[in-house]
Amino acid sequence: MSDRRDFLRLATLAAAAAAWAPGASAAATDDAFLDDISHRAFRYFWEQADAHTGLVRDRARMDLKPDIPHHADVASISATGFGLTALAVGARRGWVSPAAARRRARATLEFFAHSAPGRRGWFYHFLHRASGRRAWNCEVSTIDTALLLAGVLTVAQTFRDDPAIPRLAAAIYERIDFRWMLTGPRHRWLSMGWKPETGFLHAAWNSYDEETILYILAIGAPRHSIPWQCWYAFQRPWVNYAGYRYVAGASPLFIHQYSQAWVDFRGKRERHGQHINYFENSIAATRAQRVFCSRLHSRFPDYSLDHWGLTASEGPHGYMAWGGPPPNGKVDPDIDGTLVPCAPAGSVMFTPDICVRALRAMLAAWRRRYPAMWGVYGFADAFNPLTGWVSPHVLGIDQGITLLSVENHRAGSVWHWFMRNPAPRRACHLIGME
């Protein structure tokens, strides 16, 4: 009965938030707008998680209708990591009671501590939401386990008044054999994963991408940790564009966002190597992408300094890893005028001035023409004003980076919760980044 009351309370709050028309009132503040976006993103994690396993659907339809059978019951562990963190945000913001959030967090941790399939503490990328069985013959994924673990450690701090939650979190973390995944020259890189049918994946995390949180967790781990020198073993390719210089191993903007949704790199610079400040690096990457999109205006008239945003997302022909500026200087030929709202939303914590403006501009320009782009969970995953295509889905990881980035901008909460754990602080100390 208590969970039912919390659900009704959430629905009431969502209806109140929906009564505000984004972009329609000059009196509406940016904070009210961001609160609305955050609340809608939180609602995704509250409604699309299984109450017993805690597993969060990989994606859901904007119209709330059942998805095709191939996707309907599939959850991702990375979305679940975002979902665990969403419980902490929702409790802090009053969108759900702390007791209900705590119960959901404990159920999720109990599932991963006792029932979730995997190998040497690592978990499969995709699981069936209700049963927890491996889905799609997927891999045991290092980065997705790391994003899950980030959520586990977050709730270990926010709900530590329940002694079972920190205990379960510690059990999950201490079981992961980070050393087993080492590969490459002198065993300094972490593999991207493993399959029981074929063994380790050929790909490794050997160039700057979204994996910095993986290395932070592996170096700072209480058991089976890896040498701190592994941090300096992956490549750091530089991109120079429109006066901005930053490190990037791939084009999508999410590579600069996911790790920093939890790891607080503000004011931290590497003592060795190239002495990079990764927070400043992400600021430069975000500002460069805004200019990059605006310079494609002749090809895609809807792109401008106010209408921009490219990152991996659903596209008209499937999941696309689009982005820019490209590290190799060649514009991705798949870019077709699509806009991805979670690209600027995920960088609100870095550059709120240009990101909040872009999000409000998208709604003001196209919400009436394409009403399907905005719904109970916020923005559709992607849309193309040039062709009229609108994704019928929202994706858990894209909802997650939106929610966490906005929360960090507004209050720094996720950074605070995650960095209270000894492991990330230990890793930063060993790396020489304090």
Q: Which of 395, 400, 258 is nearest to 319 (CA)?
A: 395
In Å, what is the CA distance from 116 to each residue of 122, 164, 181, 218, 355? 10, 18, 19, 20, 37
In Å, what is the CA distance from 273 to each residue of 276, 408, 433? 8, 28, 11
| pLDDT level of residue 16 (50, 70, 90 thresholds) | very low
pLDDT tens, 42-54? Answer: 999 999 999 999 9
The mean pLDDT value for 369-378 works out to: 97
pLDDT of residue 8: 46
pLDDT tens, 380-389? Answer: 999 999 999 9
pLDDT of residue 24: 47
Structure tokens of 326?
A: 């490209």
Determine the straight-line distance between the first and last CA of the chain, rounded to whole angstroms. Answer: 47
Helix (H) or strand (E) holding 215: helix 212-219
Q: Which of 311, 338, 331, 333 is nearest to 323 (CA)?
A: 311
Considering the chain, what is the average pLDDT of its residues?
Answer: 93
Measured in whole angstroms, how far is the alpha carbon of residue 86 from the centre of its chain? Answer: 11
pLDDT tens, 292-348? Answer: 999 999 999 999 999 999 999 999 999 999 999 987 777 888 999 999 999 999 999
Here the contacts of 283-287 (C-beta below 8 Å, separation 24 or greater) are 283/350, 283/351, 284/244, 284/245, 284/246, 285/239, 285/244, 285/246, 285/248, 285/253, 285/256, 286/253, 286/256, 286/344, 286/347, 286/350, 286/351, 286/354, 286/355, 287/244, 287/351, 287/354
pTM: 0.94
Helix (H) or strand (E) holding 149: helix 142-158
CB 346 within 8 A of CB 253: yes
- CA atoms of 320 and 12, how far apart (whole Å): 35
pLDDT of residue 6: 53
Single-letter amino acid, residue 241: Y
pLDDT tens, 157-196? Answer: 999 999 999 999 999 999 999 999 999 999 999 999 999 9
Q: What residues have CB less than 8 Å from 391, skipping those under 6 apart?
A: 62, 313, 314, 315, 380, 381, 382, 383
pLDDT tens, 17-35? Answer: 444 454 444 335 899 999 9
DSSP codes joined into one string, 81-92: HHHHHHHHHHHH
User: In degrees rounded to 5, what are phi and psi of residue 378?
Assistant: 100, -140
| Residue 66 DSSP one-character state | P
- CA atoms of 155 and 142, how far apart (whole Å): 20
Single-letter amino acid, residue 205: W
- CA atoms of 405 and 413, how far apart (whole Å): 10
β-strand 383-384 against 378-379: which pairing, if any? unpaired
Single-letter amino acid, residue 191: S
Q: Which of 61, 151, 139 is nearest to 104 (CA)?
A: 151
* Domains, the chain, with CATH or none: 2-431 (1.50.10.140)
